[in-house]
Amino acid sequence: MKSGQLLSIVATNGGETNEGAFPVVEKAYEAGYLEVLTDIAMVKLNEMEDENKIVLTDVCRKAQTDLNVMYNDFMKKNEQLRGDFLSYDDQANFWASLNAESYFIQGYIEGYKLAKRAKESGFEK
């Protein structure tokens, strides 16, 4: 929600706040902090990628090895379909990177919410 919309809602109430305005303010606040956290998560993800600090599990590395073997075998056997497959592969990789990015951002946001709830409940070291 844009700040102009929020001001308009407050103005239509004669400048007074009421219980009906609280859900609007809460949604605006949530949208704002989610946008900020998304930006922060993207900066952190880019830093981690640039510094090669993404830690892959053994299962992930094994799956990548298996995928590479299958890819190389396919590329040798099917010259005729190679162009189509490469286009598909490009799109699949693009989707996979966006999907991983979405998971990272969501994890970052959920981690923030968990830390915030812990702090608000007085659970601190």
Judgement on whether residues 60 and 105 belong to the same structural domain of the protein: yes
What per-residue confidence (pLDDT) applies to 20?
A: 66
Judgement on whether residues 73 and 24 belong to the same structural domain of the protein: no
b/e map 63-94, b = 16+ CB within 10 Å: eeeeeeeeeeeeeeeeeeeeeeeeeeeeeeee
Domain interval for residue 124: 56-125
Q: How many domains does the structure of the chain reveal?
A: 2
Judgement on whether residues 68 and 123 belong to the same structural domain of the protein: yes
What per-residue confidence (pLDDT) applies to 27?
A: 80
Q: Which long-range contacts (CB under 8 A, 24 or more apart) does 104-107 make?
A: 104/41, 104/45, 105/37, 105/38, 105/41, 105/42, 105/45
Q: What is the pLDDT of residues 1-17, one digit of tens each?
A: 444 555 565 556 555 55
- The sign of the CA dihedral 52, 44, 114, 2 is negative
Judgement on whether residues 65 and 120 belong to the same structural domain of the protein: yes
15: tokens are: 């400048």
Calpha distance 105→35 (Å, rounded): 10
Q: What is the pLDDT of residues 50-82, one digit of tens each?
A: 999 988 899 999 999 999 998 888 888 877 788
Calpha distance 119→125 (Å, rounded): 10
Global pTM reads: 0.60
